[in-house]
A and B are shown apart, each in its own frame.
Chain A
Amino acid sequence: MVTTFSDPFEALLRLQRALEGRLASDWLHDQTTSQGPFPPINVFQQGDDILAIIELPGIDKNSLQIEAKENTIRIAGQKSVANPGGASVHRRERTFGAFDRTLSLPVALDPERIKAEYRDGILALHLPRSERDRPRTIKIA
């Protein structure tokens, strides 16, 4: 075994960076409360139902994979950026790569009636609440 003598402060700093990196990742909490990962999601209430609006410009509709189960929705896909050949690049700000994100909601959903719509680079998910989760009015007899 090779022992290397290194600065103990360096080791501490490495540990701190690793801990911070863990906090920044969505490994432990892939709930909606984790911020940062792609794609950004806005969730709205529409009557009793929920509407999630996701910004996903320039995605091939067929590469998008949306799965729903009880109260979680998984959105996965590939964002690619076309590069015209034989040209020099001056600026490259658009991101690309594979993404996979799970959204957990505090209410039960009806997976059968979920509707997804992709237009102008915006993915809208209509998430109806499941019948058994809906609030019921109770009449006083």
Chain B
Amino acid sequence: MVSSHELQAQKKREIAGKEETTIPARLFVPAADIYEAPDALTVILEMPGVEKSNVSISVEDGVLSVEGRLDLSKYQGLQPLYTEYNIGHYSRSFRLSSKIDQSKIAAEMKDGVLSLQLPKVEQAKPRTIQIN
């Protein structure tokens, strides 16, 4: 019988956007984990196959956009025998609920996992108010 704890492969979600792409490659939504601490927001994205140099991160008008480009040339000349997943570039954007200090954004890419540390601006941090 199937155990409920069996790790299942996630079906890659393809982007259903309004814009069309000018390149033939597919675009997928990377799986994300988001944690919020009082002083910073942590966003972790899974983008297997993306090299560190091919990731672009931007924060504009309160929207965080992350794009990861896959080096498709590695797959050229390979004859597929059996496939379970599709490959393509990754793109995802989030509307940020609090102000982020853009100059202090830290990003780390390791084993296809992108970790973003987005520190909040001083004013956006919650302040505890003492009652006298």
Contact = CB atoms under 8 A, between A and B. Distances in A.
A59 interface: yes
Given A90-B36, A93-B31, A38 B8 contact: yes
A65 interface: no
- Give the size range of A's interface with the partner: 35 or more
A56 B48 contact: yes
Given A120-B48, A120-B51, A43 B113 contact: no
B7 A94 contact: no
B10 interface: yes
A30 to B, nearest CB: 12
A36 B49 CA distance: 20
A99 B9 CA distance: 10
Contacts of B49: 55, 120-122
B132 to A, nearest CB: 28
Interface stretch (B17-25, B77-85, B118-126): B77-85
Interface in B1-51: 1-2, 5-10, 31-37, 42, 44, 46-51
A90 B9 contact: no
B101 interface: no
A58 B85 contact: no
Given A45-B79, A58-B113, A95 B7 contact: yes
Contacts of A46: 78-79
Interface stretch (A4-12, A19-27, A129-137): A19-27
Contact of A89 (B34, B47, B85, B87): B34
Contacts of B32: 91, 93-94
Contact of B9 (A39, A50, A96): A39
Interface string B93-132: 0000000000000000011110000000000000000000
Interface of A: 18, 21-22, 24-25, 27, 32-33, 35-46, 50-51, 55-59, 61, 79, 81, 83-84, 86-99, 118, 120-122
5 contacts: A25-B2, A55-B85, A87-B35, A93-B10, A120-B49
